[in-house]
Structure 1
Amino acid sequence: MSQTIRVLLADDSPTMLKMYLGLLAMAPEIQIVGTAKDGEEALLLARSLHPDVITLDVRMPRMDGIEASQRIMAEAPSRILVISGAVDAEMSFRALQAGALEVMPKPRAGKEGLVLFGTRLVQVIRSMADVPLAQNRTLASAPTPAAPLKGGRVDGFGLVAATGGPPALCMVLSLLPPNLPYPIFIAQHVSEGFTTGFCQWLSAASSLRLEVAQSGTRPHRGHVYLPPDGHQMQVLPTGELRVEPVQGTPAMLGDTLLSSLARVYGNRAGGAVLTGMGSDGAAGLVAIRRAGGLTFVQTPESCVVPGMPEAALRGGGTDVVLSLEQMAAALRSFSGAVSQSTLPPN
């Protein structure tokens, strides 16, 4: 795309729009091509202006951010960034399901919070501008798992995702039974303040029990664990979970999680890397594969951003590529060879 990033801003608060304009004026490569006071106006301007990136609030009159995301992606595709408060987390993730790429929280009160928000806003818009547009990306395809993944035994399975991950994870979890004989661990890059809402949103679509993990928790079969805001998660040799503040930039939540599964579960570990930008999870899949565990990635053509699966394939972490439906079918086919000392019953 061109060096200039053309941005459309949509929020029903004139104060918020003025603030966004001021913050983005500090980035010379970002050009504000229009502002909208509601989703309906955002749709009209998207049709006429064809911006590279659109920021949307989720609560707006006439047309909210969820419907606006869906209509924009159908009629005038663009890269959509949802900016909302944590109180609207469920609506924000529904907007992601409708086609938005990312969610970030509105700024905190005070000058320091505003400065941090402005820096983050510019970073996110820059990174989103590099994401290829796809108007009608299909998440699902054939429901039959690939032959190499029929059967198998796992004590724990890790799913790693970033951009585009929430809808992909939602689809996979919605297709799994409540009596899954092993736990699932998730490393999804989520904006701070949205983990609890993300967990609740996934819970509404899945029959599995979702939990925000705490250090010392002993994982249960049929449960899904996510780390708290700003934390990474791993399984310890004792069988307990450990959560700790994210280390390093960029955060490699997936590598931390998957590598721990390889160390603890060995050839009964499993892991998959889904849609996302960068290479998180690639090294973790290599660790699981070397331990003799099961590894695969989401089909790159079904990803919002194929960077992470492609990095995992290049790195030799797997040679098995599955659609999301195939992935869920594979997960259903695994039995749990569970040690009671590692994984207590419900």
Structure 2
Amino acid sequence: MNKPIKILLADDSPTMLKMFSGLLAPASDIRIAGTAQDGAEALTLARSLKPDLITLDVRMPRMDGIEASQRIMTEVPSRILVISGAVDAEMSFRALQAGALEVMPKPTPLNGGISSFGTQLISTIRSMAGVPLTPRRPIIAPPGPPPVLRGGRVNGFGLVAATGGPPALAMLLSLLPPTLPYPVFIAQHVSVGFTSGLRQWLSAASPLPIEVARTGMRPQAGYVYLPPDGHQMQVLMSGEMLVEPISPLHGTLGDALLHSLARAYGNRAGGAVLTGMGSDGATGLLAIRRAGGLAFAQSPDSCVVPGMPEAALRNGAAESSLAVDGMASALRALSGPLPTVPLHRS
């Protein structure tokens, strides 16, 4: 029998701690090793308990969740799940940059309430427990010769990411010029309520304007587009964007985006699959490559979780495997103004 997943809960609200404990009680494979009411106490208990996973709020006295994430990952590395309100979304993404793996929202009537939250919490803990606990990998490559890349022109470029994606996206976008001659589309797996915080956080890192897509909007060169909360985004052959709710049965927002780019732009489509669990983006990236477009994957050794890039590499979808700085170099080298009518190769 496998050992139970040992977790440490940290929140400055005793009510929240009691609720978390009650919601996790039915899960026989999860054991609560301890609770903390601030980041400093969480750090102390992490040293002694060596939990498999730690949940952290971001706003706590003495030491907030951002500093606690930094200190824990430096002194006693553990898988960290940030549980916060949507109002603290920007702080939550800073915690991801500091070393946390995932972020999920506290329960509200708008996101399904306590029962739905409990189911999601148990599922997320089980998924995160399977992530290898290794030192945080650098998302840029060590000095060396630049990769030899096939040049080309793109009319739109799609980025797909999940676990570990926000810091990688922030780094990548920070390295792109404000005069980028094509639009960038992002499919980042993120909890409902956190898109606005992700947009703010990426805007602080990037010289490019970040917009939330709407159905009927025409993408503009030099802009970055995110789908609204709970939605996926596609580009139609007419050149307009289509925004639809994500199917609860499929969670393949990355594949939906990349397949649409392959159809709309043909051999002037571009795409990349970044860090994350699962395989989202692999079939969409393959469609771009088969259309003659440019297809990259983040190098697995630079990923927080390499599952998604490895899936893209296994099925032959990616022509190059690059760390984030190498990918930024490739995107800077691409050129080609957005045409009035998107190119399509049948």
> How do 1:223-234 residues align onto structure 2 when only pairs under 5 Å count?
223-234=223-234
- 2:181 partner SS: coil
- 2:296 partner SS: strand
Structure 1 residue 134: Cα displacement: 1.8
- 2:308 partner SS: helix
Gaps of at least 5 residues in structure 1 are none
Match of 1:60 in 2: 60
C-alpha spacing 1:256/1:112, structure 2 compared with 1 (3 Å): closer
Structure 1 residue 135: Cα displacement: 2.0
Q: Pick which of 50-59 and 333-342 moved more.
A: 333-342
The one-letter amino acid of 2:205's match is: A
Structure 1 residue 336: Cα displacement: 1.7
Is the counterpart of residue 241 in structure 1 residue 235 in structure 2? Answer: no
CA distance in 2, matches of 1:271, 1:258: 7
Match of 2:8 in 1: 8
CA distance in 2, matches of 1:111, 1:176: 35
Match of 2:22 in 1: 22
C-alpha spacing 1:19/1:110, structure 2 compared with 1 (3 Å): farther
Gaps of at least 5 residues in structure 2 are none
Match of 2:305 in 1: 305
> How do 1:91-170 residues align onto structure 2 when only pairs under 5 Å count?
91-109=91-109, 113-142=113-142, 145-149=146-150, 151-170=151-170
The one-letter amino acid of 1:147's match is: V
- Asked if the contact 1:74/1:135 (under 8 Å) is kept, the reply is no
> How do 1:216-295 residues align onto structure 2 when only pairs under 5 Å count?
216-295=216-295
Structure 1 residue 142: Cα displacement: 4.5
- Asked if the contact 1:213/1:241 (under 8 Å) is kept, the reply is yes
Paired residues in the alignment total 342
Structure 1 residue 341: Cα displacement: 4.0
CA distance in 2, matches of 1:193, 1:207: 24
- 2:149 partner SS: helix
C-alpha spacing 1:173/1:31, structure 2 compared with 1 (3 Å): same
Structure 1 residue 110: Cα displacement: 9.5
C-alpha spacing 1:2/1:284, structure 2 compared with 1 (3 Å): same
- Residues 173-221 of structure 1 show CA distances to partners (whole Å, capped at 9, x for unaligned) of 0100110000000000000000011011100000001001000000000
Structure 1 residue 146: Cα displacement: 1.8
Q: Pick which of 133-142 and 160-169 moved more.
A: 133-142
The structure 1 segments of at least 4 consecutive aligned residues displaced by more than 6 Å after TM superposition are: none
CA distance in 2, matches of 1:157, 1:135: 31
- Residues 90-144 of structure 1 show CA distances to partners (whole Å, capped at 9, x for unaligned) of 0000000000000000011499610000000000000000001122311111576
The one-letter amino acid of 2:9's match is: L
CA distance in 1, matches of 2:200, 2:233: 19
CA distance in 1, matches of 2:123, 2:182: 38
CA distance in 2, matches of 1:41, 1:129: 22
Question: What is the Cα-based RMSD across aligned positions, in Å?
Answer: 1.6
CA distance in 2, matches of 1:112, 1:304: 29
Structure 1 residue 247: Cα displacement: 2.0
CA distance in 1, matches of 2:84, 2:198: 13
The one-letter amino acid of 1:200's match is: Q
CA distance in 1, matches of 2:18, 2:251: 32
CA distance in 2, matches of 1:219, 1:309: 26
CA distance in 2, matches of 1:132, 1:331: 30
Is the counterpart of residue 188 in structure 1 residue 188 in structure 2? Answer: yes
Match of 1:199 in 2: 199
C-alpha spacing 1:141/1:73, structure 2 compared with 1 (3 Å): same
Q: Pick which of 257-266 and 311-320 moved more.
A: 311-320
Structure 1 residue 249: Cα displacement: 2.5
The one-letter amino acid of 2:310's match is: E
CA distance in 2, matches of 1:335, 1:36: 52
Match of 2:45 in 1: 45
Structure 1 residue 2: Cα displacement: 4.4
TM normalised by structure 2 equals 0.96
- Asked if the contact 2:227/2:233 (under 8 Å) is kept, the reply is yes
